[in-house]
Amino acid sequence: MKRLAMNGDQAVALSWKQIDPDVVSSYPITPQTIIVETFAEYVANGEVGTEYICSESEHSSMSMCIGASAAGARSATATASAGLAYMWEMLYIAASMRLPVVMTVANRALSGPINIHCDHSDAMGARDSGWIQIYAENVQEAYDNSIMSFRIAEDMGVRLPVMNCLDGFIVTHAIESMEPLDDDAVKKFVGDFKPIHPLLDVKSPHSFGPFDMPEYYFEHKYAQQKAMENALDVVRKVSDEYAQISGRKYDLLECYRCEDAEYVALSIGSTAGTMKQVVDDLRAEGHKVGSIKLRLFRPFPFQDVAKVLDGRKGVAVLDRALSFGAAGPLFADVCSAMFGNSSSSPAFNYIYGLGGRDVGVEDLKKVYFDMEDGTAKAVNYLGVKL
Amino acid sequence: MPVRLTEGHRLCAGCAEPIVAKQVLLATDKPVVVANATGCFEVSTSGFPQSAWEVPWIHTAFATTAATISGVESAYVSLKRKGKISEDIRFVAFGGDGATYDIGLQALSGAIERGHRFMYVCLNNEAYMNTGIQRSGATQRGASTTTCPSGTCIPGKKEIPKDLTKIIAAHKLPYAAQASPHNWKDLIAKAAKGFEANGPSFLNIITPCPRGWRYDGANTIEMAKLAVETGMWPLYEYENGKWTLTGETKRIAEGKMERRPLADWLKAQGRFKHLLAPEWKDVVDDIQNNLDASWDELLRLTKL
Amino acid sequence: MSTAEDVIVEPGTARKYHTGSWRSKKPVVDKEKCINCLFCWMFCPDNSIIVEGGEMKGIKYTHCKGCGICSRQCPKDAITMVEEGEE
């Protein structure tokens, strides 16, 4: 397939066109809107068979995906920031009903103050909702993750909704060169949707979303947790299969020049791309540094994370979100992974880029310099004007 | 006709909700899929692992019933177009007045505007009964609830309820109606029209609640009848732009039957008992004035 | 997956829950007076009026909550409410 130039939102829309979901619900919100606009054009031109519904809110948009998925339809939507926050209640319900809804999240700061630019406070806030979360570094990954998301969500050992996260504007709006798969390859890879006891099977009636008392609620939550645990292997399996058709091999996390690195920094999303340049620059100057890109945030790959961080002189965790009164949500999980696996690498948290604050190569070098000269604090605020 | 909502549900003795649901579901012999808002009706018919439903049923949340059924219906349209299902299915959503007048109104308005083919049934008992009788946008002026109790200074709810059926009719949907379970022929006929409407339809049904209204549960059907005969709950239809009175409301308007006095309605229920004190006569007068004005407005609409 | 998600696989299972134990008053039918209009069936909130071949055959006491609607709505006063245990 020839390479194309497009932005992250268009790439996601293209993946949907190739998958041709049964139902897509939409509601506009920057920086996701290009996805539902582009897809609406496919619908208008008869390029997909999807029933495309324009909802009156994100809360309803997610409710429609839940209804459609329970009815037996492959369902997708997209949102960002306040839209994701508005869906909050319904996120948990989609996961609890074990519905494989796929949602692209164009990561954007939450209000207030209102801000349209990138940070991860929206998706990080939804981390406990029972959704699988995959983060893309660039346009190619946004496309590839979108396709893999359907397979992961619909796996019979998982059956959980998936958030395909890409950085607002940085990935959603930046035009990059990317290589899509052939339509047939995508259709074959994703396969037919196999609903479990769908509502539209009227001969076999089921009750979805019943009232759950203390006798059963805990077991249902435990079952969700088990499905999340299963998802670790399923993500690996789906990534392996995807590599066979695309030539692009993904893992739960990816290390860059980490083999002999004394100091490493872990990040997610587009910053992980910038970090590669930082590492190259510093390596050229003789620093023994490496970087790690975490692709899968939920379920959190504790073992894999602990393993790559063990034995380092310093570990920096870059969070583009902040849990007020604590620190970065990614940092908390990384520390938990290391502590649980008896890894004693010193760990430092860097909060950066909130509300789209630009973070460049020079800014990020400071993370390594701090660790090397012993000035890194437990929690650091990179680039904040004090 | 097979039973679609079974016994063994945990609604209060004398609750009107399962009576209304039975009558609505009797109105079609097509397969139905039901969506249900959070509330008494959902909680009491679905305690895991037991369900009182013999038809496919889904509950998601409080505000989302119309959106959920929109999603189900969209899946149906999509899968039917793709040849994956063949049955002719009907879609119905049940929500209480809290779910319909208040928290779910935006979702309902959106679903109707989008034109999904489904029927929304409001089980209107004029307050949030599941949480213990709190006022809603449907609660009548003067009614005492736990969030607008009748006290020494304030005699129950200060505001008149919103006229939701007319708000829904303003969407210019194919069919909307008000009904009451005491007149089951009228209710079933309206539900049948709603099921067969070529687009969204809406039924607002007075659904007496013995606990919330404070009357003996044996009188549930009597209470629904009284609501209609006093003019507090007129029976009418809005069908493709035309307003028509039905049942007792029509007979009253035609002079074939007396409209019963408002006092009969107020005296019958504990929630209005305080209004009988002379000091609140102005409140009763206000209710009467609103009743008369609404009645006149409805008659005007039906003559247009 | 059966009970792993909050989905009830088997329909109509609420029948296993016998709400008849809630009852303090019990409806008793006098079939001599009954004209099989089935108003009791139409207005029973608990599917507890037994109808066979268009005839009212009695009351399903396993589920009847004793609300008294059937008695109040019977046009022939064929259903009487009696204290539970005193019939």
Residues of B in contact with A206 (CB under 8 A): 56-57
Asked if residue B292 is part of any domain, the answer here is yes
Give the residue numbers in C contacting A (CB under 8 Å), as ranges.
Answer: 1, 3-9, 11
Whether residue B73 lies inside any domain: the answer is yes
Among candidates C12, C71, C73 on the partner chain, residue whose Cβ is nearest the Cβ of B52: C12
Instruction: For B41, name the nearest residue in chain A, comparing CA atoms only.
Output: A211
Dist. CA B48–CA C2, nearest whole Å: 12
Does C11 lie at the interface with B, CB-CB under 8 angstroms? yes
> Could you tell me if residue B29 is inside a domain?
yes
CA distance B240 to chain A (A): 24
- The answer to whether A75 contacts B58, with C-beta atoms less than 8 Å apart, is no
Q: What is the pLDDT of residue C1?
A: 41
Instruction: Report the topology of domain C30-83.
Output: Alpha-Beta Plaits (3.30.70)
Residue B266 lies in a domain: yes
C-alpha distance from C32 to closest chain B C-alpha (Å):
23
Chain B nearest-CA distance from C68, in A, is 5
At residue C9, the pLDDT reads: 84
State how far the alpha carbon of C59 is from the alpha carbons of A248, B221, C50, in Å: 69, 19, 6
In a domain, B8, yes or no: no
A216 vs B contacts (CB less than 8 Å):
48-49
Residue C39 φ/ψ, nearest 5 degrees: -60, -40
Distance CA(A268)–CA(A270), nearest Å, equals: 7
Tell me which residue in C3, C6, C7 faces A197 most closely, judged by beta carbons: C7
Chains that touch C (3 or more CB pairs under 8 A): A, B
Residue ranges of chain B with per-residue pLDDT less than 50: none
Q: What pLDDT, on a 0 to 100 scale, did the predictor assign at position C2?
A: 46
At A26, give phi and psi (nearest 5°).
-135, 150
Residue with tokens 């520390």: A335
User: Under 8 Å CB-to-CB from A147, ≥6 apart: which residues?
Assistant: A15, A18, A19, A181, A186, A189, A190, A242
Q: Is the pTM of this model over 0.95?
A: yes
A210 contact residues in B (CB cutoff 8 A): 46-49, 51, 59
> At B245, which CATH number?
3.40.50.970
Distance from CA of B208 to the nearest CA of C (A): 12
Q: In chain C, which among 30-59 make CB contacts under 8 A with chain B?
A: 42-48
CA pair distance B49, C11, nearest whole angstrom: 10
Residues of C in contact with B217 (CB under 8 A): 67-69
Nearest-Cα residue of chain B relative to residue A21? B78
Residue of B nearest to C60 (CA): B7
Is C16 in Cβ contact with B13 (below 8 Å)? no
Q: Does the residue B233 lie in any domain? A: yes
Q: How far apart are CA C87 and CA C84, in angstroms?
A: 7
Residue A207 Cα, gap to closest chain C Cα (Å): 5
Q: How far is C28 from chain B (nearest CA, A)?
A: 15
Interface probe for C, chosen from A160, A207, A215 (most Cβ of C below 10 Å), is A207
Q: Find, among A161, A163, A193, A164, the residue nearest to A66 by Cα.
A: A161
Cross-chain Cβ contact A207/C3 below 8 Å: no
Contact criterion met (CB < 8 Å) for C69 and B48: no
From CA A105, how far away is CA C81, in angstroms rounded?
61
Q: Which residues of B touch A55 (CB under 8 A)?
A: 67, 70, 110
Nearest to C13 among B17, B23, B51 (CB): B51
Domains identified in chain A and CATH numbers: 4-246 (3.40.50.970), 253-382 (3.40.50.920)
Nearest neighbour of A67 by CB, restricted to B47, B49, B68: B68
Query: How confident is residue C8, by pLDDT bands cut at 50, 70 and 90?
Result: confident
**Contacting residues of B for A50, CB less than 8 Å apart:** 78
pLDDT in tens, B60-84: 999 999 999 999 999 999 999 999 9
pLDDT for residue C4: 63
Confidence check: pLDDT of C3 > 60: no
Crossing angle of helices A217-246 and A88-96, in 10° steps, is 90
Is A67 in contact with B51 (Cβ distance < 8 A)?
A: no
Residue of A nearest to B47 (CA): A211
Cβ pair C16:B221 closer than 8 A:
no
Question: Considering its fold, how many domains does chain B have in total?
Answer: 1
Task: Quickly list DSSP for A191-227.
Answer: -----SS-TT-TTS--EES-B--TTTHHHHHHHHHHH
* Residue of chain A whose alpha carbon sits nearest to that of B93: A67
Q: How far apart (Å, rounded) are the C-alpha atoms in residues A79 and A64?
A: 14
For residue A192, give both structure tokens.
Answer: 């037919």
User: Domain limits at B45?
Assistant: 17-303
Distance from CA of A77 to the nearest CA of B (A): 12
Q: How many CB pairs under 8 A join B and C?
A: 108
What are B229's two structure tokens? 């005969």
Mean pLDDT of each 10-residue bin along chain A, 386 residues long:
94 98 98 98 98 98 98 98 98 97 98 97 98 98 98 98 98 98 98 97 96 95 97 98 98 98 98 98 98 98 97 98 98 97 95 97 98 98 95
How many angstroms away from the CA of C57 is the closest CA of chain B?
Answer: 17
- Which residues of chain C does B216 touch, with a Cβ-Cβ cutoff of 8 Å? 68
**Does B183 contact chain C (CB < 8 Å)?**
no
pLDDT at res. C87: 63
How does residue C85 score in pLDDT terms, banded at 50, 70 and 90?
confident
* Chain B residues in contact with A56 (beta carbon < 8 A): 106-107, 109-110, 113
Minimum Cα–Cα distance from A77: chain B residue:
B71
Sign of CA dihedral C69, C73, C77, C78: negative
Name the residue among B165, B167, B161, B162 with its Cα closest to residue B143: B161
